[in-house]
A and B are shown apart, each in its own frame.
Chain A
Amino acid sequence: NAGVMQNPRHLVRRRGQEARLRCSPMKGHSHVYWYRQLPEEGLKFMVYLQKENIIDESGMPKERFSAEFPKEGPSILRIQQVVRGDSAAYFCASSPPTGQGANEKLFFGSGTQLSVL
């Protein structure tokens, strides 16, 4: 029973390139969350998705950032035209369907460390 899988673990991009971060939730989990963590900081909520739906993207910058969770396949966090300030660790978390503990216990992946040169 694999946990939340994120890839790649490390991603290096030059300014202006695109970054695509992938997250496969735990088996049976239909809720996916993306968080960003800067050094010595806590996690900042970005977006909450269910299959084929963005439920809450209030924490995600309006420009350059997008997220999806298609019917098949992993959730993708996409950052276009990256800038140095995008350098951070991006964590994905999943939780069971509503009524079974959604937002009560999150299971986190090991994160993707994005470095923008």
Chain B
Amino acid sequence: SQQGEEDPQALSIQEGENATMNCSYKTSINNLQWYRQNSGRGLVHLILIRSNEREKHSGRLRVTLDTSKKSSSLLITASRAADTASYFCATDERGGADGLTFGKGTHLIIQP
């Protein structure tokens, strides 16, 4: 599997429920970021968590990072129809290329 793989590939939930997406990676990282992409648009930065952090909050978003398992999770609480989008994790690899390494994303559908 490739660096920054999200799980599940697709997720469909009812409005108001919580959505959890996971990301696994392979190398040592400086930080891990989550981005959101609406259909046909560019990515929008949501949240960044550094390698020495374990949890971070931003509004309805909660991100965790477990460097021992090389995994991260993104939790969106009280989901809204407008949260429907694809969500990507991206890693800044230590000693790697200068660009971020993105996973294939989780397509989230919030049903009203």
Contact = CB atoms under 8 A, between A and B. Distances in A.
Do A and B originate from a single complex? yes
A77 B97 CA distance: 19
Contact of B102 (A44, A110, A111): A44
B41 interface: yes
B99 A42 contact: no
Nearest to A109: B42
B interface, by DSSP: helix, strand, loop or mixed? strand
A42 B103 contact: yes
A41 interface: yes
Contacts, number: 70
Contacts of B41: 110-111
Nearest to A58: B97
A17 interface: no
Interface of B: 4, 30-31, 33, 35, 40-45, 48, 88, 90, 92, 97-105
28 contacts: A4-B42, A33-B99, A35-B99, A35-B102, A40-B104, A41-B104, A42-B4, A42-B88, A42-B102, A42-B103, A42-B105, A43-B90, A43-B100, A43-B102, A44-B102, A45-B102, A46-B99, A55-B98, A56-B97, A59-B99, A91-B42, A103-B30, A104-B33, A104-B48, A106-B45, A107-B45, A110-B40, A110-B41
